[in-house]
């Protein structure tokens, strides 16, 4: 005799999707109404099962859409309620810390750049005006690196201070942090795609004393890189030589590197948040050591991926995004181990 399929075993795919999307709801709402909402979702699926698979799919889509809409709405309400005076002050401290870290890191890397070139500049007896211009046009490519680095430092310092208190109302919260980091990532992407190549082009002219007759990948904007990549693929035909493939790879490396480094603003912010939740009361020395380790690992992966992609060992896309994948995995692991979802 055939027994009807248990309700716990029916619609397993939609159940998994529902559980996955339920993270959109605040934890308090999930704890209070999550089970009842999931049961209602399954009942609606059962009710539409008699009308065929299309009806079940439509019912599931409506239910999942309602879940996401309600979850996002409740999160906005929760964040607005939590954005009290101490929390706003914490975000203000985060902003100030970011500016300080950005200026300090950019200054250090700019001084390092000047030190590496001082002998050559002295040999050419460049004027003070040219020296100032060289340093000014070196700022954009330096800031492209320090924008995500400063994010990590500022978030780690602010989250460490806020995690040192038992008052959850004045802790750094993840949702506004992601919003701020996302806005910064958008700015960094525009900076890397448009400002840095133009500054690099002027820097080459100042260093060589002659205009750029053949633009290279480092002085091309994102749209110019995409156009050059498409044109190179069309010109080289179906049987490109290794030299042609390397040329295309160099274009594609820069195409993926620009958004990848910009996205590091979000990834490193999440990693700093997770570290601060795991290692409470981290002092300045610990924060400096953690920052040094993270930056070293991140940029070693980036440089290794770039070298492998240039040699045609790896495709440019995974090569340039691998550092973000590694850091995001570490961030999720750090946050999960401390169960910081309760603070979301």
Among 51, 80, 109, identify where a domain stops: 80
Report pLDDT digits (tens) over 293-332. 999 999 999 999 999 999 999 999 999 999 999 999 999 8
Domain boundary among 60, 80, 100: 80
Q: CB neighbours of 167 closer than 8 A, spacing ≥ 6? A: 86
Burial string for 48-67 (b: 16+ CB within 10 Å, else e) reads: beeeeeeebeebbeebbeeb
- My answer on whether 92 and 190 are in the same domain is yes
pLDDT at 339 over 50: no
Would residue 7 count as lying in a domain?
no
Contact of 297 with 152, CB cutoff 8 Å: no
- Give the domain extent around 73: 12-80
Question: Which pLDDT belongs to residue 160?
Answer: 81
Q: What is the pLDDT of residue 344?
A: 38
Residue 257: count of CB within 10 angstroms of its CB: 22
Same domain, 74 and 96: no
Report the C-alpha gap between 296 and 90 in whole angstroms.
28
Do 155 and 273 form a contact (C-beta atoms < 8 A)?
A: yes
Task: Based on the fold, state whether residues 111 and 16 are members of the same structural domain.
Answer: no
DSSP annotation string for 313-343: SS-HHHHHHHHHHHHHHHHHHHHHHTTGGGG
215 plus 120 within the same structural domain: yes
Least Cα distance to 102 among 65, 145, 72, 137 occurs for 145
pTM: 0.74
In a domain, 6, yes or no: no
Residue-level pLDDT at 342: 38
One domain, residues 158 and 300 = yes
**Residue 2 lies inside a defined structural domain of this protein:** no
Identify whether residues 39 and 134 lie together within a single domain. Answer: no
Maximal C-alpha separation, the chain: 96
| Residue 72, pLDDT score | 75
């Amino acid at each position: 005799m055939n027994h009807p399929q248990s309700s716990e075993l029916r619609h397993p795919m939609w159940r998994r999707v529902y559980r996955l999307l339920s993270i959109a709801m605040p934890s308090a709402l999930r704890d209070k109404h999550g089970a009842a909402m999931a049961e209602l979702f399954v009942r609606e699926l059962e009710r539409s099962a008699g009308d065929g698979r299309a009806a079940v799919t439509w019912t599931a889509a409506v239910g999942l859409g309602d879940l996401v809409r309600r979850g996002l709405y409740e999160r906005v309400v929760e964040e607005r309620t939590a954005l009290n005076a101490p929390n706003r002050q914490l975000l203000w401290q985060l902003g100030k810390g970011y500016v300080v870290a950005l200026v300090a890191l950019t200054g250090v890397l700019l001084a390092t750049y000047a030190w590496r070139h001082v002998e050559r500049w002295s040999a050419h007896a460049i004027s003070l005006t040219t020296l100032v211009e060289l340093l000014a046009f070196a700022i954009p490519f330096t800031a492209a690196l320090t924008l995500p680095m400063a994010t990590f430092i500022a978030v780690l310092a602010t989250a460490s201070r806020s995690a040192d208190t038992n008052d959850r109302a004045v802790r750094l919260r993840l949702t506004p942090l992601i919003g701020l980091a996302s806005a910064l990532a958008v700015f960094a992407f525009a900076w890397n795609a448009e400002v840095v190549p133009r500054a690099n082009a002027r820097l080459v002219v100042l260093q060589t004393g002659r205009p750029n007759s053949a633009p290279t990948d480092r002085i091309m904007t994102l749209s110019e890189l995409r156009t050059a990549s498409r044109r190179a693929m069309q010109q080289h035909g179906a049987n490109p030589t290794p030299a042609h493939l390397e040329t295309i790879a160099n274009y594609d490396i820069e195409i993926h590197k620009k958004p990848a480094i910009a996205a590091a603003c979000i990834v490193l912010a999440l990693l700093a948040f997770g570290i601060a939740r795991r290692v409470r009361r981290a002092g300045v020395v610990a924060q400096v050591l953690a920052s040094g380790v993270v930056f070293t690992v991140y940029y070693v992966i980036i440089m290794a991926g770039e070298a492998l992609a240039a040699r045609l060992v790896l495709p440019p896309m995974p090569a340039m995004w691998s550092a973000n994948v590694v850091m995001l995995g570490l961030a999720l692991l750090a946050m999960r181990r401390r169960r910081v979802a309760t603070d979301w």
